[in-house]
Amino acid sequence: MALITLRHERHAASAGARAGDRPLYAIGDVHGCYDHLHALLAWVASDAAERSPGVAPVLVLLGDYVDRGPDSAKVLAALAWLARSSAITARLLEGNHEAMFRLFMERPAAHGQWLRYGGSETLRSYGIAPPEEEVPDAAALTALRDRLFDVMPVAHFRLLERLEPMVRVGDYTFVHAGVRPGVSLRAQQRDDLLWIRDDFLEHPRPAETIVVHGHTWASERPVLLPHRIGLDTGAYETGVLSALRIDRDGLAVVQAVAAG
């Protein structure tokens, strides 16, 4: 296991924003960085037990659990365990990388491009060597999918099938990529929740709530604005995975940082 350290920052919450009556946490895009996730889950458990003894916290994970990093299989195993735990209410959002992964498993010949967007690393995490060809043919892609079916635990499939598109808690809405400005939260389209960028990021007030999201990152620092909070900090490249605690005292950002 890699050596991971935690760093903490306090921030003011948006004026008047409410976060419900239970401890509320969120974690950004994991992308196969299991050691970082493990460190943040331990912090959430310890922090919640200290601040609100006997109350199960709510933890929202913002999607993109797989691809690019080295340990996607271990991440999915951890999340499958987390989803069964009675000590925490885990709300697991779907990211665009989970969507691509599922499409590859459903129709591999039509969705082989997943391999170029981190899918090869996910296959390696299951002990499967990706193809050497830059553009494998349909037969090779189908055979690759079939080998994945042979080794991937059923719990991982079920987890991917049950991911949520959106979670709302108090005055905060959690999505993977963002929301379409000018469209009510109830009427949002799945593709926008998974893929939107500039139309959402550049809008001064894209939703009626504060939006907490992942999907887009520019540095190892999260983005904290009055109308949105971006928690993706490019863990697979920067070595920094970010988490957020929201409560009546404000916001706390905790980052799991790979040593060195």
Q: What is the pLDDT, as a whole number, of residue 19? A: 84
- The yes-or-no verdict on residue 249 having pLDDT over 90 is no
Confidence band of 1 (pLDDT split at 50, 70, 90): low
**Both tokens of residue 173?**
């809405």
pLDDT tens-digit readout, 167-210: 999 999 999 999 999 999 999 999 999 999 999 999 999 999 99
Closest CA to 74 of 143, 1, 142: 1
Closest listed residue to residue 48, CA positions, set 59, 60, 57, 40: 57
Cα–Cα distance, 241 to 225 (Å, whole number): 19
Question: What is the rounded CA–CA span in Å between residue 124 and residue 115?
Answer: 11
What is the Cα–Cα distance from 47 to 51, expressed in whole angstroms?
A: 6
Q: Report the candidate in 91, 71, 95 with the shortest Cα–Cα distance to residue 176.
A: 95
- Cα torsion 214, 216, 220, 222: sign: negative
Phi, psi of 213, rounded to the nearest 5 degrees: -145, 170
The yes-or-no verdict on residue 259 having pLDDT over 90 is no
Q: What pLDDT is stored for residue 257 in this prediction? A: 97
Report yes or no: 100 and 114 within 8 Å, Cβ to Cβ: yes
Token code pair at residue 184 = 């009510």
Nearest Cα residue to 205 out of 232, 184, 226: 226
Q: Which residue has the higher pLDDT, 197 or 259?
A: 197
